[in-house]
Chain A
């Protein structure tokens, strides 16, 4: 199977409001795929349709090769954005319960939940009630509950939101571990840094519409390149009239130049050396954030 998920021109309306507008995407099996976009962009609605919690008004969704997503529900793992636990249940019981809801038998679900808790350092908490867990541990238990039944495709909605850096790292490690096991992971985020670090492919959506998608390399190549310069001297108009420079962000000693696709960086450097003393000349790829801001027209409501 080529694609773990194939979404074809899917639209979802809530009354008059179009939450998802003709979105198409394909997630290759065994990759980490990021849904990126600001809050309210339509990420959660798209994910809910994949999980058959909502149904598309138009278009088709093929999950794990099956055009009826509902039929493969038990092979998917899902961590919603709004996360909750049954406070009075023990962690082991809770994970077992979710495993059984996914069609596992009681014995397997129980064995696997203990195994997962031990593997992720929560072995001592099997018999503790969920309301005794710290926030980070609670998050871990929730993620484990989505993994108990060995899903082929795991969908995590905003898995990093509200976490401290230690737990962000922890969740990232879990995602990478899943990839190593050959599973497909889709996650959504409105913060671009995590996506940049771990995604193979990304999708940028804004106001329900796809802005662009592709591998991280493709997406970055489509964006503008930047040069960072630390310098001394000049008369304040150093960067005027340079060939191939689209935008300048000059702070006096430090400047960021946005280049267009055809700019010859060697020529640019040569031109600058004549005008100023250069301490640093650093070309780099644009960040996803820059690409995104440019793509949506410089304005993002976060």
Chain B
């Protein structure tokens, strides 16, 4: 019977939330943004016209040598004109009118005196052309210098050959394994999950706060309380909003999987853009699900207490300040923890209950030792139990209080008062 009523409240709450525009915007915005993030750079790349450029070669041999070894890249760069120093003012005009992207000036003897080499363009932000062409020029000039010094180019290249360290990691088998690009992505993936977790917990806990305040200012609370107990009502609300949040996050994960798996292929992009493998890691998914529920419960207990104690959303916002600051910490620690998942910062923050869900998710690439999983989660569970107990007491008294918003001292008295009695207001 008791649970039945809680479920009824939760069910109504869920249906009510799902009917809002905000919910559907929230569900749709993520895949749309994700698709845009994949498609837009590709489209930009495709639509960009080839850069037309000119060269004033004062040396008389560099451009020829470049051309000899030049790997044509006509899709991106087109040598439109070979000019002489006298053409320079005309070229300036062309560049100014954007009829020409840029021009290069090669000095008379770049092998002895590189001074006077110039790159003239209007848009200096896009340096792809400069990099590409100067690389080609450098190669031919270096070869000319080697020849003049009677050095064998093959020998020189061998001398310059760097020693490359191949990255390996110790996997679950205890053996060193090769590191693929996917491994590197896997290492950073928890950051994405933390972000998603954070946004999810924040949005839906906020939803709970708004709903509670609205229900209270709607005066509907008292009718409800004539049928259900305050605890059933609170539990139902928390549960209903949790379902809403789970539906939203579920939709996000599903759309992430579908978008990363199929959209790049549709655009003819390389398979390396397929990030859907991240979602097939059981540790990540399990951590995400568990820490979403636990993190939400902790913040839900805090926010439902706030919602029950105030009368307007404005008053709620004032009390939300400290909670928001609390929530920003794991966001700021996100990158340092991702780089050092088992470092001191990560270990310390894991033991602070409001941060535990985010930080432990963040460390999943580590992954942390079992002891830490067990210890921090146990501490988190205890905190949730305490927070819910406090929330129930605050909710019971606060939900029927109208008038001035209570001070923190008053709320403390509500928590200390035995169940059933109503402390006065001073």
Contacts and interface: CB of A to CB of B under 8 A. Distances in A.
Contact of A14 (B9, B12, B423): B423
Contacts of A85: 218, 220
Contacts of A82: 219, 222, 402
A289 interface: no
Contacts of A103: 1
A73 interface: yes
B74 interface: no
B424 to A, nearest CB: 2
Nearest to B228: A101
Contacts of A89: 16
Contact of B222 (A14, A73, A74, A80): A80
B226 interface: yes
Interface in B391-426: 400, 402, 420-426
A54 B223 CA distance: 13
B23 to A, nearest CB: 13
Instruction: Assign chain B's interface to a size class.
Output: 20 to 34
B227 interface: yes
Nearest to A81: B222
A53 B9 CA distance: 17
B421 A57 contact: yes
A182 interface: no
A83 interface: yes
Interface residues of A, number: 36
Contacts of A67: none
Given A73-B226, A97-B12, A145-B223, A54 B1 contact: no
Contacts of A70: 229
B223 A84 contact: yes
Contact of B423 (A15, A55, A79, A86): A15
A78 interface: yes
Contacts, number: 78
Given A86-B218, A100-B8, A101-B8, A55 B226 contact: no
Interface in A187-244: none
A31 to B, nearest CB: 21
A156 B5 CA distance: 23
Interface string A58-74: 00000000000010011
Given A14-B423, A54-B422, A89-B16, A84 B226 contact: no
A84 B219 contact: yes
A8 to B, nearest CB: 18
Contact of B426 (A15, A74, A101): A15
A249 B119 CA distance: 109
Contacts of A73: 226-227
A51 interface: yes
A83 B220 CA distance: 6
A16 interface: yes
A86 B5 contact: no
Contacts of B19: 88
Contact of A80 (B5, B219, B229): B219
A274 B12 CA distance: 76
B265 interface: no
Nearest to A102: B227
Given A97-B8, A101-B227, 15 more contacts: A14-B422, A15-B423, A51-B225, A54-B420, A73-B227, A78-B222, A79-B223, A80-B226, A84-B219, A85-B220, A86-B218, A98-B227, A101-B9, A142-B223, A145-B223
Q: What are the nearest 5 A-B pairs in CB distance?
A: A15-B424, A84-B219, A82-B219, A78-B226, A80-B222
Interface of A: 12-17, 48, 51, 53-55, 57, 70, 73-74, 76, 78-80, 82-89, 97-98, 100-103, 142, 145-146
